[in-house]
């Protein structure tokens, strides 16, 4: 009995000592890791501001590919919510975006139920030609003394996972076209088919040659329209066929109300694409249209859309009456 009594007293004493020590341990734990991604923040932020692509870079997804995920609330930004339920390695929880500052900061609440709620932040800052992404985690243990001891190991437990996740995020984002879409006028819209008269043409990739080829092609269409008493039903169009070692191939088109007129080669009748498209509104010289298309392609990559059909451009402004830096063009990139 004396032995048991001594053992009991020893255990109680140890518990008391641990409790006293625990009171002096930090009541919260923080983990932070960062990485530089060779892309502008405008390409990284949309990936982080939604849970749609979270499992493509999450360091925990591979621990249980059979885990169940559900999404609710806003599709992105404040209110976006993801719930998961998996094996022991993945557990059960809810993650909700609570703050969203474009291209700079995202905050989330990480709710583990009885285990409490942790605060997570992702911060983006320019660095060199890229962006430094910093992933931070903070949890408050209060007077949970066991939690305070666990907090001493938090960096070891979570830090490696954060490093793995950031590396996967970098690999994903650096597959996107390297162009900044911040401030670009981009949206996904539905477009309807329109009747057109068009001429298929080719040119070198020199801007002057392209302008002449378009002018020549439109010049073949307009006499037929005049003979049929047709007027343009919208801005003239350029529909891309190819841009490669052969040069530039395109269809120069003019929208019309009807196409039941007498045609003369090389003028043909047809209609424009109908369906979903990424629309990029661009203001400036035609030399910048390639960058506008690059922005559209980057938007498609960021939002995991799938390109479909030929890209086409509306030349809204008349270059003969509008200063070059004020020319309005609208690029359409069809998507499924």
CA-to-CA distance for 8 and 334, rounded, in angstroms? 75
Say what the pLDDT of residue 141 is. 53
Q: Could you read off the pLDDT of 91-136 as tens digits, one per residue?
A: 888 999 999 999 999 999 988 766 667 889 999 999 999 999 999 8
- pTM here is 0.85
Q: Which secondary-structure segment (H or E) carries 59?
A: none
**Per-residue pLDDT for 89 more than 60?**
yes
**Per-residue pLDDT for 221 more than 50?**
yes
**Per-residue pLDDT for 295 more than 90?**
yes
**Per-residue pLDDT for 32 more than 80?**
yes
**Per-residue pLDDT for 285 more than 90?**
yes
**Per-residue pLDDT for 82 more than 80?**
yes
CATH fold of 185-334 reads: Multidrug-efflux Transporter 1 Regulator Bmrr; Chain A (3.20.80)
Say what the pLDDT of residue 156 is. 64
Specify the CATH number of the domain 27-173.
Answer: 3.30.530.20
Say what the pLDDT of residue 42 is. 98
Listed in sequence order, the DSSP H helices in the chain are: 2-24, 41-48, 54-57, 145-151, 154-173, 207-227, 289-302
For 239, other C-beta atoms within 10 Å of its C-beta total: 21
In this prediction, residue 137 has a pLDDT band, given cuts at 50, 70 and 90, of confident
**Per-residue pLDDT for 255 more than 90?**
yes
Residue 311: name the closest of 237, 236, 239 by CA: 239
Say what the pLDDT of residue 2 is. 44
Q: What is the mean pLDDT of the chain?
A: 87
In this prediction, residue 62 has a pLDDT band, given cuts at 50, 70 and 90, of confident
Q: Please give, one letter per residue, the 3-state secondary structure of 80-111.
A: CEEEEECCCCCCEEEEEEEEEECCCEEEEEEE
**Per-residue pLDDT for 152 more than 70?**
no
Say what the pLDDT of residue 230 is. 94
Q: Could you read off the pLDDT of 189-200 as tens digits, one per residue?
A: 999 999 999 999
Instruction: Parse the chain into domains and list their residue ranges.
Output: 27-173, 185-334
Taking a C-beta distance cutoff of 8 angstroms, is the pair 296, 313 a contact?
no
Mean pLDDT of 317-335: 95
Say what the pLDDT of residue 31 is. 79
CA-to-CA distance for 139 and 113, rounded, in angstroms? 13
Mean pLDDT of 163-175: 96
Say what the pLDDT of residue 154 is. 58
């Amino acid at each position: 009995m004396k032995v048991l009594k001594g053992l009991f007293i020893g255990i109680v004493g140890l518990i008391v000592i641990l409790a006293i020590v625990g009171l002096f341990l930090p009541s919260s734990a923080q983990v932070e890791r960062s990485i530089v991604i060779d892309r502008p923040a405008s390409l990284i932020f949309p990936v982080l501001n939604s849970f749609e692509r979270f499992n493509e870079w999450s360091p925990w997804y591979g621990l249980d590919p059979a885990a169940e995920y559900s999404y609710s609330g806003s599709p992105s930004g404040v209110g976006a919510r993801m719930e998961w339920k998996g094996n022991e390695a993945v557990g059960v929880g809810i993650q909700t975006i609570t703050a969203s500052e474009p291209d700079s900061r995202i905050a989330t609440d990480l709710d583990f139920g009885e285990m409490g709620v942790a605060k997570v932040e992702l911060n983006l800052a320019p660095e060199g030609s890229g962006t430094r992404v910093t992933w931070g985690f903070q949890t408050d243990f209060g007077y949970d003394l066991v939690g305070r001891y666990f907090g001493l190991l938090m960096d070891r437990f979570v830090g490696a996972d954060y490093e793995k996740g950031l590396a996967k995020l970098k690999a994903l984002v650096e597959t996107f076209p390297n162009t900044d879409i911040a401030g670009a006028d981009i949206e996904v819209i539905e477009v309807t088919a329109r009747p057109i008269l068009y001429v298929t043409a080719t040119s070198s990739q020199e801007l002057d040659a392209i302008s002449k080829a378009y002018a020549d092609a439109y010049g073949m269409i307009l006499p037929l329209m005049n003979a049929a008493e047709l007027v343009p039903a919208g801005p003239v169009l350029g529909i891309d066929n190819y841009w490669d070692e052969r040069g530039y191939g395109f269809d120069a088109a003019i929208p019309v109300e009807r196409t039941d007129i007498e045609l003369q080669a090389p003028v043909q009748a047809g209609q424009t694409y109908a369906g979903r498209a990424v629309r990029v509104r661009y203001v400036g010289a035609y030399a910048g249209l390639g960058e506008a298309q690059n922005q559209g392609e980057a938007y498609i990559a960021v939002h995991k859309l799938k390109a479909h059909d030929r890209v086409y451009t509306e030349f809204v402004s008349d270059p003969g009456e509008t200063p070059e830096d004020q020319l309005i063009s609208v690029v359409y990139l069809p998507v499924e």
